[in-house]
Structure 1
Amino acid sequence: MSLTPRDLGMDVPISRRDFFDGIAVGCVAATAAPYAAAPARAAQEPSGPSALRTPFTVLGDTGEALSVPHALRDGRFWEHAGTPVPTGEHYGLVVVGAGRSGLEAAAEWSRRRPRDRVLVLDNHPEGGAGREPLRRGVAFDAVMCDRESFGADTLVTLSGPGWIDWLPIDGQARKDLRTLYDDPPDWLPGLSREAKEERLAGLTYSAFLREVCGAHPDAERFCRTMSAPEWGYDTRAFGAIDAWGTGYPGFDGLGLDRSRPSRYNSATVRAEWHGAARETPAPQDAPVRWSSPVVSVRDGARTATVGYFDGHRVRTVEAGAVILACPSAAVPYLVPDLPEERRRALSRAVRVPLLRAEVRLSDPEAWRRLGVRRVRWTGAYWCAAEFAPPDRVRLLATPCRSELGPDAGSAAGRRELFRTPYEVFEHTVRDQLARLLGPAGFDPGRGIAAITVHRWGHAIPPEYRRPWHEFHPDGPSPADAARGRFGRIAIAGSDAGDGAAVLAVEELTR
């Protein structure tokens, strides 16, 4: 039975916080009005002078928090920004973006030219760039077969050999899942290993289950959110070749070589295959100027000029070189005189949105009584929930419309994410925690002390992968056309591909 907003505690005074891309925005106090896990109400983006006022402090409107990049995109920023004010600062290198690629570029530059001053500019407040709420590579110990997928909520723990028997799905779907997990045949007899890999490269994992394995729709539906917590979209957009590469069920009978990745695997899967995950560097001598969105980069006769908005006006610094380690889609608005071919290539880099919430429980004992730590949901709004002792729960939602593919789906999901009011997120958080923890005695009205929501419209860098990008792996790719040097400017964000930061430094220091 569904609980009312009052039953869920929507009217209870608690700490409520809402962030857009790391930027705090105001939360209107929740009331007991009916939310009905609501249709999104559009947040209007402001225009005119109000769109520029202090957009990087705590604000009362989500549109204001995003006003600078949106105003640049829409051609409104310079109408109201005023004349840029030179700071008189000169740097050997200015890096735009304090993510992994930006800090890697700053560290590499300082190693090669230790006497140069380096400045990193970033639009987030300090520490605002963290994006992953759940740990990669950590298995779920339970699945909530939820009412959105199967008509009723059934929590199934994944320990022991008989867990498939407890799934609330069609009997044939249980048989199909046992085959996929325990004894999959060679679904592609007569094909060589190379031909099998090529066949998998042309399918999503959902299509593999339906079209190759002939799995019952309930079996595909049970597996659908397997990829969402780590990749930002479900198996309708996740490639079968990467599903094989990361150990999803159904592939063991194909006889493929598990000692190496396939040439069709994505770069992330190939890197993780060899344990090549990299840590973000921390250059000691490169100051990061937070809350400083860059609005212009111009290459001049002797130096480049970088303009950034400090919350009140545009200020400029001079640089011997500039590395753009920001999302590729933003680059044409910062460097409007880029050649058209590079502008088109940059626009093809579509990032994946993410939504995460952290809930502080005033009653954590209910989760301990539940006896599990990490739960995947098969179809509800939040696709994953993880208990973080002593009293926190982290939830993840993936706004990407996976049925449209990773690129079009991310764009559509991002628009919906921007339109959705905070109250919808709180309602769905409370509802799903009540459904999960209610049998263990949890009261959503009294058991929650605080909810913090982080909306990341451009969270996960784009990655070329099959079956969506036919040019992968042989190329050329849009990143090949987008990255590289343009006068004193080089493009080297994570959108530009692995190793782009070091490549940019090499090009600029020749």
Structure 2
Amino acid sequence: MSLSSRDLGMDLPITRRDFFDGIAVGCVIAGGTPGKAEAAADPPAAFTVRGDTGEALSVPHALRDGRFWEHAGPEVPTGESYDLVVVGGGRSGVSAASEWLRRHPRDRVLVLDNHDELGVRAPARRRVRADAVMCDAASYGTDTLVRTSSPGWAERLPFSGRELLRDDPPDWFPGLSAEDKQERLAGLTYSEFLREVCGAHPDVERFCRTMSSPEWGYDTRAFGAIDAWGTGYPGFGGLGLDREKLSRFNSPTVRGQGGPPQALALDGRARVRLSSPVVSVRDGVVAYFDGHRVMTVGAQAVILACWSAVVPYLVPGLPDGRRAALRQAVRVPLVEAAVRLRDPGAWRRLGVRRVRWTGAYWCWCEFTPPDGVRLLATPCRSELGPVAGSVAGRRELFATSYEMLEHTVRDQLARLLGPVGFDPGGDIAAITVHRWGHALPPEYCRPWHAFYPDGPFPSDAARGRFGRIAIAGSDAGPGSEVRAVEELSR
């Protein structure tokens, strides 16, 4: 199906905001007000972009590039003093502030964040299973929806060589012990396992490629074979390995360890300042940019619950080894779209809830009752690996126009739901896109981290108290919020 922009509803009279980092940074370094610039360009509710927008990232990027202080002007003291200042208002920051107030209920606490929402970040890794796969035109030349929950589904795939997906495979490593087989898997990505070990047809590898994308933010060209086995992907049935006894090489997520911190409610007990990126933490003083000037507050203690890679730009005097370890925490980009339908009848007629796409921009579509659709896109250039691929994918994401994001949402919903009566021009009430250039926290895993699981780990070198400053956040590992509070309470 090929629809024109008019058919997709792209000609509807709504304003689409193309407010990129360069414009926002230009306002900041010239002493302007990003908030006012955005207000002048804000679109109606029909299409909204949130998350890592240009205005949220302009100051951090200016700090990174060494441009901020040249134009920032003198610091202006607010005269305020706090027992604790938390830098970062995501789950980790809210959890750290809540834990501090649980222990010190009379203390004054301030939470600062560069975004315009508190406690909202990209989804944590969660294991999901599709009940249908769209073998899309980008992969196979034409769109073919295959319901994988129905018997004999593999026979309906639009390619050959699908025996690996249908039958029990052989033992690819005969004569090796279970530990040796697991170690062999730990040295391969899942795509390499399919191609080099199983001899799978390229169409089969392409079909499996996005299996890991909704959970990990990158596809099977970067996803380890050892974790693919631990997750139950095809191709491993003949190895005789017991998935009830996972390997020491499996990642913490596959082993069921860690996970996102539980964000507790602040209940109004802490002050919160949004759209207030922190620019310096030193000697009991925290400085942040309020859109006009650099403001300062006094701080008896500081918890940095922001991205670890930002910390070296905020805290002068950190040892070189610690700065290097913090910069290794490269996050995976992710884009999430929430679509509100005027009439969800077409999706109900489709008869499935979760659809994985094999090669389109949005790799995942999920119906969210009563009238919503959730889509995920994973910009990581997986063929480069999780770290280099995230950096390259983030750069491409920030150069992607909002119009393109809207067009692909409408196009894919039309291709999926059009055959059951969906009209992308009339049936979409609103689209909200959360663009997260720095979304999923890094995780040590094979085959990319040879030091895993025995260590030592870069996060160990990055953690620990530095004067009256402690580091928390998902980059610092599970439980880092409580650990940071304990370190500063000694």
TM-score for both structures, normalised by structure 2: 0.91
Which residue of structure 2 aligns with residue 178 of structure 1?
166
Q: Distance in 1 between matches of 2:349 and 2:26?
A: 51
Which residue of structure 2 aligns with residue 31 of structure 1?
none
Q: Distance in 2 between matches of 1:49 and 1:224?
A: 41
Aligned pairs, number: 477
Q: Distance in 1 between matches of 2:22 and 2:206?
A: 33
Q: 2:194–2:205: 8 Å Cα contact kept in structure 1?
A: yes
Which residue of structure 1 aligns with residue 50 of structure 2?
none
Cα deviations across residues 129-150 of structure 1 (Å, max 9, x unaligned)?
Answer: 23229x9334211100001001
**In the superposition, relative to structure 1, how do residues 74 and 217 fare at CA in structure 2: closer, same or farther (>3 Å)?**
same
| Bigger mean CA offset, 332-341 vs 42-51 | 42-51
Q: Which amino acid aligns with 1:166?
A: R
Which residue of structure 2 aligns with residue 279 of structure 1?
262
Cα deviations across residues 263-321 of structure 1 (Å, max 9, x unaligned)?
Answer: 1121222225xx9775323344333322221111002xxxx111112222222111221
Q: 2:164–2:234: 8 Å Cα contact kept in structure 1?
A: no
Which residue of structure 2 aligns with residue 238 of structure 1?
223
Q: Among 190, 199, 209, which residue is 2:175 paired with?
A: 190
Q: Which amino acid aligns with 2:154?
A: I
Where does 1:45-84 land on structure 2 (aligned, <5 Å)? 46-47=25-26, 52-56=31-35, 58-59=38-39, 60=41, 63-84=54-75
Q: Distance in 1 between matches of 2:91 and 2:370?
A: 30
For the pair 1:507 / 2:490, whether they are aligned, the reply is: no
Q: Distance in 2 between matches of 1:162 and 1:268?
A: 31
**In the superposition, relative to structure 1, how do residues 276 and 123 fare at CA in structure 2: closer, same or farther (>3 Å)?**
closer
Q: 1:92–1:319: 8 Å Cα contact kept in structure 2?
A: yes
Matched residues, percent identical? 73
Q: Distance in 2 between matches of 1:45 and 1:290?
A: 16
Q: 1:210–1:220: 8 Å Cα contact kept in structure 2?
A: yes
Q: Distance in 2 between matches of 1:403 and 1:45?
A: 31
Which residue of structure 2 aligns with residue 130 of structure 1?
121
Query: How much is the aligned-residue C-alpha RMSD, in angstroms?
Result: 2.3
**In the superposition, relative to structure 1, how do residues 474 and 363 fare at CA in structure 2: closer, same or farther (>3 Å)?**
same
| Bigger mean CA offset, 444-453 vs 331-340 | 444-453
SS at match of 2:361: coil
Which residue of structure 1 aligns with residue 468 of structure 2?
488
Which residue of structure 1 aligns with residue 251 of structure 2?
266
Where does 1:372-411 land on structure 2 (aligned, <5 Å)? 372-411=352-391
Q: 1:42–1:420: 8 Å Cα contact kept in structure 2?
A: no
For the pair 1:145 / 2:135, whether they are aligned, the reply is: yes
Which residue of structure 2 aligns with residue 475 of structure 1?
455
SS at match of 1:485: coil
For the pair 1:200 / 2:185, whether they are aligned, the reply is: yes
Which residue of structure 2 aligns with residue 22 of structure 1?
none
SS at match of 2:362: coil
Give 1:404 shift. Answer: 0.4
Where does 1:83-162 land on structure 2 (aligned, <5 Å)? 83-127=74-118, 129-132=120-123, 136-162=126-152
Q: Which amino acid aligns with 1:456?
A: W
Give 1:376 shift. Answer: 0.5
For the pair 1:425 / 2:405, whether they are aligned, the reply is: yes
Q: 2:85–2:299: 8 Å Cα contact kept in structure 1?
A: yes
Cα deviations across residues 307-341 of structure 1 (Å, max 9, x unaligned)?
Answer: 11222222211122111110011111111321111
Give 1:44 shift. Answer: 5.9
Q: Distance in 2 between matches of 1:280 and 1:207?
A: 38
**In the superposition, relative to structure 1, how do residues 508 and 474 fare at CA in structure 2: closer, same or farther (>3 Å)?**
same
Q: Which amino acid aligns with 1:467?
A: P
Which residue of structure 2 aligns with residue 365 of structure 1?
345
Which residue of structure 2 aligns with residue 222 of structure 1?
207
Unaligned runs of 5+ in 2: 43-52
Q: Which amino acid aligns with 1:109?
A: W
Q: Distance in 2 between matches of 1:116 and 1:127?
A: 20
Unaligned runs of 5+ in 1: 18-25, 29-40
Which residue of structure 1 aligns with residue 274 of structure 2?
290
Q: 1:297–1:306: 8 Å Cα contact kept in structure 2?
A: yes
SS at match of 2:263: coil
Give 1:235 shift. Answer: 0.7
Give 1:45 shift. Answer: 6.2
**In the superposition, relative to structure 1, how do residues 113 and 451 fare at CA in structure 2: closer, same or farther (>3 Å)?**
closer
Give 1:90 shift. Answer: 2.0
| Bigger mean CA offset, 150-159 vs 282-291 | 282-291
**In the superposition, relative to structure 1, how do residues 190 and 405 fare at CA in structure 2: closer, same or farther (>3 Å)?**
same
Cα deviations across residues 350-408 of structure 1 (Å, max 9, x unaligned)?
Answer: 00011111222234222121111111000011101111223221111000000000100
Q: 1:84–1:316: 8 Å Cα contact kept in structure 2?
A: yes
Q: 2:95–2:262: 8 Å Cα contact kept in structure 1?
A: no
SS at match of 2:465: strand
**In the superposition, relative to structure 1, how do residues 42 and 420 fare at CA in structure 2: closer, same or farther (>3 Å)?**
farther
Q: 2:77–2:297: 8 Å Cα contact kept in structure 1?
A: yes
Q: Which amino acid aligns with 2:262?
A: E
Q: 1:55–1:65: 8 Å Cα contact kept in structure 2?
A: no
Cα deviations across residues 73-112 of structure 1 (Å, max 9, x unaligned)?
Answer: 1222222222222222222221111223223322333333
SS at match of 2:245: coil
| Bigger mean CA offset, 409-418 vs 387-396 | 387-396
Q: 1:142–1:375: 8 Å Cα contact kept in structure 2?
A: yes
| Bigger mean CA offset, 50-59 vs 376-385 | 50-59
Give 1:48 shift. Answer: 6.6
